[in-house]
Structures are given as structure tokens and as C-alpha cells.
Amino acid sequence: MKNIVILISGGGSNMKSIAKRAQKGQWLERHHTQIALVLSNDPQAGGLAWAQNQGLKTQVLDHKGFLQEPEPRRAFEEALIQTLEPHAPDLIVLAGFMRILGPHFVGHYAGKMMNIHPSLLPAFTGLHTHKRAIEAGVKFAGASVHWVSEVLDAGRIIDQAVVPVLPSDTEHSLAARVLTQEHLLYPRVIENWIKNTL
């Protein structure tokens, strides 16, 4: 059995698209692969209730509970590893997980962690990608799925989806079109990973 763990911080729209693809594609029955856990660092994350309603196991590890520690990020990451280990993750999927993960955590799960980023990497790493793309005058934007490395948004690119930037685009209209492509791209990449690791 292969176990996938999905980390979210908010509504979890990419998590939803992955879970729907898992159900439709019968990942459990056909590939012996399951979404073993959906975890959020935010107790208020909207995606948690949806995941529970789908019968998925959920858990919360609130990063704010570690702010008093001498090394808050390291303490949170240690706790996160301890929380994930019982689920024996073969793949960790970052789906709108709004915490930068440090070298300790990334190293522990090296080669096992994917992220999706709303730009055509290596362009526009970090935040405010759509605003920056429009301001730069680029003709194409998009989304990238990549392996997570110790450098933010710099891991090896697995696949990308390209979205044209229209003259009428605003930050929000471009973001909406890119998100539509994310919901197609991420589940497809994960399904390909499953098939390639059988």
C-alpha cells in the first residue's frame, strides 16, 4: 500500500481535486494507493471539513502552539515529523500549505515531497506571482509542480501548465485561470507518479 499525505492551510482546493481524481481513478482499488491523511497547520482550514465528509482522515498541528519554543520552526517540524511518521508517507503533497519548511524537514522527506506553485518556474518564485507576472509584461503564466528542495520553489520541475496572459487580465482573473489549470495538473502528476512507482 502506498500512502499519500496532503498538507493544507486553507480551503484546500487542490486537495479536493486530488481526492476527487483518486476516487474517480480508483487509486485504492487499481493502484493500492490511498490518501492516508489530510493535515493542516490551521484549525480553521476550510478543507478539513470537506475532507472529513469524504471519509478522509484529518489532523491539525497548529504551528502557533510552537511560537514560545526557543526554535519555533524546528519544534513545529519535529512535531510534524512525529505526526506524519505513523502514516508512513510515500509521498507528501503540499497543497496550499502556507509554511516554509526548513532543511531538517525537507531533508527527512527528501525525494518524497511535491509542491505546486502558481507560476512557470523558475520565474516568479515566492508570493504575489500573478501581480508580478502582469507587471513584468509576460505573455504566458501558469503553474508548476516540482519536487521540494531546501531552496524555496527551486526543486526539480516535474510538469507545468501554461496559461496565456490576456491584455485585460487583472491579478485576480489571471489567478482564477491558473487555479483551474492547477486542479488539472496536480492530480495528473500524482497519478503519473503512482503509475511510475508501481
Q: Residues 117, 130, 146, 183: which is the catalytic one?
A: 117
The SS3 assignment for 59 reads strand
What is the dihedral angle through the alpha carbons of 139, 162, 110, 31, rounded to the nearest 10 degrees? 180
What is the Cα gyration radius of the chain?
17
- Tell me the CA distances in angstroms from 39 to 87, 109, 115, 127, 136, one per residue in order: 11, 16, 15, 22, 36
The yes-or-no answer on residue 128 being catalytic is no
Alpha-carbon distance 191 to 68, whole Å? 40
**Taking the CA of residue 26 as centre, how many other CA atoms within 13 Å lie in the half-sphere pointing to its CB?**
2
- Report the catalytic residues: 117
